[in-house]
Every structure is written in C-alpha cells, then in structure tokens.
Amino acid sequence: MSTNTSPTLPAASTPGRTLAAWWQALPLTTVFVLFFLIPLALVLMVSFWDYNQYEMLPGFTFKNYISVFEGCLSRNESGDLCVTLKTYLSTFKFCLLVWALTLVIGFTVSYFLAFHVKSSGMQVVLFVICTIPFWTSNVIRMIAWVPLLGRNGLVNDFLVGYGMVDQPIEWLLFSNFSVVLAFVHLFTTFMIVPIFNSMMRIDRSLIEAANDSGASGWQTLWNVIVPLCRTGIIIGSIFVITIVMGDFVTIGVMGGQQIASVGKIIQVQTSYLQFPLAAANAVVLLAIVLMIIWALTRMVDIRKEL
C-alpha cells in the first residue's frame, strides 16, 4: 500500500529542484494518504457492506443507510421523530448554542487583547495565558467541573448556604447545561486564536479614519472591525462546529453517558462490531459537516486570506 502513492512521485523529466521538493513532501504525503485518505475511502466502501455478529461481509447493499434513516420519512405512531433525526437535532442544538457562546466570548476577549491592551509584550503574555489550557487534557478539564457543579459541589454549597435555593440543584452536572459549559470551556480557544489573528492584521489607521469621520464606538465595531475579521470568525466557527458535530467524549463524560450524539452512536456501534452501520453513520455525518463548511466558506474566500 505504501508504494502506491503515485500522484506524489515526480515524473522522470522534472528538474532537480522539483524532484527535491517531492522527496521532502513525501513523508507528510504518505502519512495523509495512509492514515487519512485511504481510511476515508474505506469508510465509504464499508458503509455499503453487509455484516453479521462476527465479521464484515463484502458486498454492495443500501441496508445500512436504510437502517440509519429507518422511520424518518414519516412520524411513527406515537408522533416521535426517528432516532437519527432526533440525534441530529440535539447535536445541532448543542452546535448552535456552543457556537454562539464561543463566538461572543472569543470575539470580546480578542477585541480586548487587540484593541485595548496597548503594549505588545502584554498582549503576547495575555494571549498565551488564553491558549495554555488548550495543551492540557480535555478529560481533566471536564472532570474539573465535578467538584464545582456536583450535588455537593461548591456552587450548590454556596446557593444553599445563602438560602437562594432550598435544596441542591440537580441539573448542574450531567445535563445539557454541563455539556454546553464544558464545550465553551474547552473550545473558546479555537475562536480566540483566529479572531485575534485577523484583528491584529487590521490597519489601525482605518479605525482612526472611522473615528475622524464621526463614527461611534459601536459603528466602528460593527461596520469596520467585524467585517475585517470575518475570516477569523469563519475559521473559528468551522473549528467549533466540526468539533461539536463529531464529539462523543465531552458529551459522554459531561452528559453522564445519557445524552445521545452522532459521534456516540458511531462509537457504540463499533463496540458491537457493527462497522458497516457505523461507517454509514459516519458518511452521513461527514456529508452534513461538509455542507456546513461549504456554506460557511461561501461567505469568505479563505484561500485569498491565508
């Protein structure tokens, strides 16, 4: 398999410099062919296979897709949506909430760093402070909420202690609330970094020009700064949305393994060795994520801005 990376091999007639470039790009290319492109192709292929309790059976069937969407064309007797639609709706809900929150927080933090912190040394220090937690374990940052939000956690102690509630609030942990909170806690960094990056590239004289022309602070923010850091906003949004769409770890740990998500369904199916079914779910998820990214990139030419 490793020798079959033919598009990366240079033609015999190419000059020496190009040849060297290919040799240099070869290791990276090989990794992405072997561990990214081929696996994706296999997911697509296997999604049309059949399976039994022990093994996958090569073939071509739409069975898996049919069972993914089983009962989705019409509401069932009790008026409920099918599992797939329900799961996607709940995932979209998380996506939208987390996206809105991380965008507002990320934008505000970046705005403060880029336009209100005057010394560039201080800017770098504060920016690094915001990004350090990104390099630490997500699971630890999740379980860190347990002593705060749990039934006997700090928040409940405080609320009960000051008589604001009669008994501990149950929905703080292992709930939709704690899932969204953990997402925001974990992934706001993905908004801050690209938005801050675009803000730092804005020519400061444009803002002065806006001031001189008599624009209010809000007008400058909305008509000058927001359009100019659109690229950063879109890149950050793509990161946050793709993470939430495919997540199963955060929703699993913070939802107390009770909340369904698309990623979780795939993971559970693989643990029952239903690989073709999991692959079909993965293909559907991938198609939806690609459509979201496509729609987002319509709004901005990312290639031009890199």
Site residues for another protein, 87-116, by CB under 8 A, read 105, 108-109, 111-113, 115-116
Nearest CA to 288 among 8, 39, 88, 45? 88
Does residue 223 bind another protein (CB under 8 A)?
Answer: no
- Out of 3, 17, 52, 74, name the contact with another protein by CB under 8 A: 17
> Residue type at 50?
D
Site for another protein in 145-184 (CB under 8 A): 145-148, 150, 152-154, 157
- Out of 238, 251, 259, 277, name the contact with another protein by CB under 8 A: 238
CB of 266 to another protein, least distance (A): 5
Give dist(CA 272, CA 12) in Å, integer.
49
Q: What sections of 112-258 are H helices per DSSP?
A: 120-131, 138-143, 146-149, 154-161, 176-187, 189-201, 204-212, 217-220, 226-228, 230-246, 249-254
| 223 in Cβ contact with 215 (< 8 Å) | yes
The site string for another protein over 125-144 (x = CB under 8 A, - otherwise) reads: -x--xx-xx-xxxxxxxxxx
| 194 in Cβ contact with 232 (< 8 Å) | yes
Residue 234's CB: how many other CB atoms inside 10 A?
A: 21
Site for another protein in 52-71 (CB under 8 A): 55-56
CB of 28 to another protein, least distance (A): 4
CB of 66 to another protein, least distance (A): 20
Site for another protein in 190-219 (CB under 8 A): 208, 211, 217
Q: How buried is residue 194: exposed, middle or buried, by Cβ count under 10 Å (0-12/13-18/19+)?
A: buried
- Out of 81, 215, 249, 260, name the contact with another protein by CB under 8 A: 249
Does residue 21 bind another protein (CB under 8 A)?
Answer: yes
Does residue 293 bind another protein (CB under 8 A)?
Answer: yes
